[in-house]
Amino acid sequence: MPAIRGIRKPFPRRERRRPDPALAERQRAKRPRAPQRGSIRTIGLGLITGASDDDPSAIGTYAAAGAAFGPSFLWVAPAAFPMMFAVVYLSSKIGQVAGQGLFAVIRQHYSRKLLMFLLATAVIGNIIEAGADLVGMAAALNLLVPIPVPALVAGLAVAVYLLQLRSYTTLRDAFRWISLALFAYLAAALLARPKLSAVVMGTLVPRVHFTRDFLAMLVAVIGTSLSAYLYSWQSNQDVEEDISMGRRRLTDRAGTTEAELQHSRRDIAVGMGFAALIIYFIILSTAATLFSAGKTEITSAAQAARALQPLAGRAAGVLFAVGVVGVGMLAVPVMTIGAAFDACQSFGWKHGLHAPIREAKPFYAAITLFTLAAIGLNYFGINPMKALVYAGIIQGLSTPFLLLIVMRISNDKKVMGPWVNTRRMNVLGWVTTAAMFAATAGLLLTF
């Protein structure tokens, strides 16, 4: 029978396939998750930043302050707390609002010359301080384990490097537990049996001696407690936290809420309060023992731990050494990973602890390179403790300008929108900035 024109033959009926659950799951995994504004951020991010501020090199500085000036220097720790809170909170807010790390924001809004200057000083300072921390950790561990310091440096470096290759959430959780090692200084201070009257006077009544040595130490403690690597680390940590909450795209991460900022303020206040408390007890432990015994010359944390043993008992010396090693396992990765973040953001390279190695090769290559450079300081005839002095000068020159940029960014409506600084935060931030410039001037004069 011939076909009738105008009438199409029906298509053959297709057999309906059942959906493949595995395929659907893979497609959902590839699709970016929607932003989850209002979700509770992880508790303890501020604690990680605060603990990394009390790295082995910083512990040596605080111990030296207590040994040289005794309980009269205790007031510096609570005085530094609001400044420590200000710089870390402002960096956190920038990271949350911009959805990017600090150096990525600087790259977008400031000149390349300024960016390269800040990057060079940050990377050099972080590498040198990481190298000094490794040898400080090894020297402290040598008090507990009779193994040569060079071998301990190598072993600790391998442990630190392997720790850095873990995922962000694993690293974050490990860091929170490691930070608890700093409680060893509270116990060490109690074992030192300080005189209560001297402690109360030194804490509540600020005393400033207008001598070269006192002012140099004051500058060193303030500069150390406001280290530049804290700024970029905190902003990058907040970005990584957003990604761990499902905000994988920049458009998902940009912006914040008052509830999130309030959570960050509380978390950072606790973290930096913890850091200031540890500074206080480190100064107290050496003030109650070494200063009282006339041993006023301390140049490292390991030397302080060794000197504490005959005066406050072996337990105090062991606790001091344990604190050095524990916090070093946190601080060194923060410095090397932080330097890698800064470098990759400055050049626009793929980066992030959430990314697998194959997708962020420059980032993980930078971590490897910076870790090797820190180790090399201890094996190529470079004295890391002397290098630390010059790194302190380099960072002392750049840190006030970095803080100045943080203040400008956090007051820029183009970047921050409605989340620009309040009047109260501006007062605290500008006072801190002025203090940092004054500390730099004092550093140059005393050097």
Residue 165: the pLDDT is 81
pLDDT beyond 80 at 32: no
Residue whose tokens read 């970047």: 415
- pLDDT bracket for residue 102 (50, 70, 90): very high
* Residue numbers of the domain that contains 231: 43-446
d(CA 255, CA 277): 32
> Which pLDDT value is given to residue 75?
95
Structure tokens, 238: 């907040």
pLDDT at 37 over 50: no
Tell me: the pLDDT tens digits for 376-395?
887 777 666 566 666 666 77
Q: Per the domain annotation, does 113 fall within a domain?
A: yes
Cα separations (Å) of 445 from 238, 273, 442? 37, 30, 5
Taken in order 81, 86, 89, 92, the sign of the CA dihedral is negative
Average pLDDT in the 217-237 region? Answer: 85
Residue 17 within any structural domain of the chain? no
The answer to whether residue 329 is domain-embedded is: yes
**Is the confidence at residue 424, as pLDDT, over 80?**
yes
Does 29 reside within a domain? Answer: no
Nearest to 331 by CA among 297, 291, 301, 299: 301
Let me know if residue 9 belongs to a domain: no
User: Which one-letter amino acid corresponds to residue 311?
Assistant: L
Q: What is the pTM of this model?
A: 0.83
Q: Which of 3-7, 15-19, 336-340, 442-446 has the highest mean pLDDT?
A: 336-340
Percent of the chain topping pLDDT 70: 82
Q: Residue 369: its pLDDT value, please?
A: 95
CA 311 from centroid of its chain's CA atoms: 33
Report which DSSP code applies to 331.
Answer: H
Please give the Cα distance from 351 to 332 (Å, whole number): 19
Query: Could you tell me which residues come within 8 angstroms of residue 418 by beta carbon, excluding any fewer than 6 positions away?
Result: none
Report if residue 368 sits inside a domain: yes
**pLDDT computed for residue 421 by the predictor:** 93
Can you tell me the distance from the alpha carbon of 284 to that of 316, in angstroms, rounded to the nearest whole number? 12
- 379-406 burial, b at 16+ Cβ within 10 Å, e below that, comes to eeeeebbebbeebbbbbbebbbbbbebb
| Alpha-carbon span 142 to 132, nearest angstrom | 15
- List strand residue ranges (DSSP E) for 114-157, in order: none
Which DSSP state fits 219? H
Measured distance CA(400)–CA(406) in Å, rounded: 10
Instruction: Supply the pLDDT for residue 160.
Output: 87
10 Å Cβ neighbour count for 153?
25
* pLDDT digit string, tens, across residues 348-369: 999 988 888 888 999 999 999 9
Q: What is the pLDDT of residue 386?
A: 65
Is it the case that residue 27 has pLDDT exceeding 60?
no
Average pLDDT value for residue range 3-28:
44
Count up the domains in the chain and report the number: 1
Q: And the tokens for 122?
A: 């940050």
pLDDT tens-place string over residues 228-267: 888 888 899 888 888 887 888 888 888 888 888 888 899 9
Crossing angle of the two packed helices 258-286 and 45-53, in degrees rounded to 10: 30
The band of 26, judged by pLDDT with boundaries at 50, 70 and 90, is very low
Residue 211 within a domain:
yes
Instruction: Assign residue 335 the CATH number of its domain.
Output: 1.20.1740.10
Within 10 A of 145 (CB to CB), how many other CB atoms are there?
12
Mean of pLDDT values over 21-29: 41
Residue 93 lies in a domain: yes
Residue 74 predicted with pLDDT over 90: yes
